[in-house]
Amino acid sequence: MPRLPMIITGAAIVLALLHPSAAGACEPDSPPDATLRITVDNVIGALYINGTPVEVGPETSVNWTLTDTVSFPVQPGENVLAVKAVDQGVIAGLLAELRVGDSALVSSEAWRGHHDAPAGWEQPAFDDSGWSAATPYGTHPGGVWGTRVQGMDGSNATWIWNQVNIQDGEVEPTVYFRFTFQVKPGWLASP
């Protein structure tokens, strides 16, 4: 049978997309690899998908105007992206777009951040319920970064950081982000 396009959805969107007629449908095919475009003002300290490190850089990961584009396998159901983001200076942000097949999810308040890294923070099973929702700082190509980012053309991703990390007017330099997303068969593409 033809391979169905895969869609990815935030957890809150999944229920709305689960069409009743799709329930009990044939076993889903393996999803195509995900492609992530990401940059951090200033440095991607580490990147993990489902607990496995994903290599970035070297030049692109330490320059906020340059985007890292990486591909990696995802699994049907729940997946977790984890990013250690490090700021230098006074303006901090993370901008990302995750794509599987024809569907994309972008950095948003659905990402969760924390100022330190408890053991296992990058692992899918880690409980991030106590972490803060990310704070938005403008939608690309807006925000203070404007159009100076290369490699994010066409993306409407939101610059995010962690508001609770701003203390006494100083931005906490390191934020650990987690983003949990679902990979499902292309429900809306099904007849």
Residues near Ca ion, by CB under 5 A: 39, 41-42, 60, 66, 87, 89, 91
| Min separation Cβ 96 and Ca ion, Å | 10
CB of 136 to Ca ion, least distance (A): 17
Task: Write the DSSP assignment of 97-144 as a string of letters.
Answer: EEEETTEEEE-STTSEEESS--TTTTSTT---TTSEEPEEEEETT-TT
Q: How far is the CB of 146 from Ca ion (least distance, A)?
A: 14
Closest distance of CB 57 from Ca ion, Å:
8
The number of CA neighbours under 13 Å toward the Cβ of 128 is 27
Alpha helices per DSSP H over the chain: 11-17
**What backbone phi and psi angles, to 5 degrees, belong to 20?**
-55, -35
Q: Of the two residues 30 and 71, which places its CB atom closer to Ca ion in the complex?
A: 71
Comparison of 31 and 145: residue with beta carbon closer to Ca ion: 145
Residue number, nearest CB to Ca ion: 39
Compare residues 82 and 92 and give the one whose CB is closer to Ca ion: 92
Written as one letter, the residue type at 103 is: S
Comparing CB distances to Ca ion, the nearer of 39 and 155 is: 39
Q: How far apart are CA 178 and CA 123, in angstroms?
A: 9
